[in-house]
Amino acid sequence: MQTVKIGNTNWQTSNIALGIMRMGTLSVPQSVAALQAAHEAGINLIDSADIYGNDPELGRGSSEIHFGQALKQSGLSRDDFYIQSKGGLYANAANQITRYDSSKEHLIAAVDGILRRTGIDYLDSFLIHRPDPLMEPEEIAAAFDELQASGKVRHFGVSNFNPQQLELLQSAVSQRLLVDQLQFGLGHTGMVDFGLHTNMTDQGSVDHDGGLLEYCRLHQLTIQTWSPFQYGTFAGTFIGNPQFPELNRELAKLAEKYQVSKNAIAVAWILRHPAHMQVLIGTMTPAHILDSAAGSDVTLTKQEWYDLYLAAGNELP
């Protein structure tokens, strides 16, 4: 398992992380098996959010409850993992997300809830889950300062923020923002398409993100890529999907060459980008965790990277 430096720090973690959004649907023994498989693969960063899991009895956050129970029963220790979670979404009594909430009060309560559910004393990193149109950067700064001073959070970042939102928040907070979680993969290549279609007027030239990929590289923010095997947003996976025959043929060819799975090749495609991204995988099946993690040790050639990009239905101008 290869490592990646988080932000501009010397904080090194595995370049593949395990997202536990689906852990709330598992039994505790199944959750233990997922954690043990991740540890066996060399994965040492766990990514969560306070809204992950919506068990009828436990409510929202059940994924973190299952994670905390599994960690205690797995034979692994808190120090085996960098544990990261997100907050800033508000759920009503019916467990429906009705607003984004980046107020100081909400963010501090979110972290307290995360620590209680997971049964740990601190988070290695805490991210603002979504940009809040009513965001007041000074309130977030006050929350970050209190959370850091209390020892509850060590590092901070965001998820799904564009460059101007990042600039606005960074102008107020004293901590360096280290992470931006963004969707990226062979089925979601917009950040790359825009750069390739510069000075053109076709669909690929439309900048949906404000030059986000280049911004993160210039400002040393680590991009953590979510839903790496999905096409669209939550439309489904392209792996083994008959809607993507050319892409699956290319994935299979390279999987045979490198003696890994197609999932591992899709991971390796992301990791080949010089932005030094970190891939968040969300599978809870131990075998799939292990076969996806194998992509960490595959270095595609430049031609193979472009072959996959083209096979995914893209073009080079």
What pLDDT, on the 0 to 100 scale, is given for residue 271?
A: 98
C-beta of residue 137 within 8 angstroms of C-beta of residue 95: no
Q: How far apart are CA 247 and CA 308, in angstroms?
A: 7
pLDDT (tens, 9 = 90+) of the chain, 317 residues, equals 999 999 999 999 999 999 999 999 999 999 999 999 999 999 999 999 999 987 767 778 899 999 999 999 999 999 999 999 999 999 887 778 899 999 999 999 999 999 999 999 999 999 999 999 999 999 999 999 999 999 999 999 999 999 999 999 999 999 999 999 999 999 999 999 989 999 999 988 898 889 999 999 999 999 999 999 999 877 899 999 999 999 999 999 999 999 999 999 999 999 999 999 999 999 999 999 999 999 999 999 999 999 999 999 999 99
Class at the top of the CATH hierarchy for domain 3-311: alpha beta
Write a three-state SS string for 157-179.
Answer: EEECCCHHHHHHHHCCCCCCEEE
The pLDDT of residue 232 is 84
* CA atoms within 13 Å, Cβ hemisphere of 181: 26
pLDDT at 187: 97
DSSP assignments along 88-146, one per residue: -EEE-TTS-EEEE---HHHHHHHHHHHHHHHT-S-EEEEEE-S--TT--HHHHHHHHHH
Please say whether the beta carbons of 142 and 113 come within 8 A: no
CA distance 67 to 49: 12
Cα–Cα distance measured from residue 296 to residue 283, given in angstroms and rounded to the nearest whole number: 16
Phi, psi values for residue 275, rounded to 5°: -75, -5
Confidence (pTM): 0.96
- The ranges assigned to domains in the chain are 3-311
Gyration radius of the chain over CA positions: 19
Distance separating alpha carbons of residues 134 and 62, to the nearest angstrom: 28
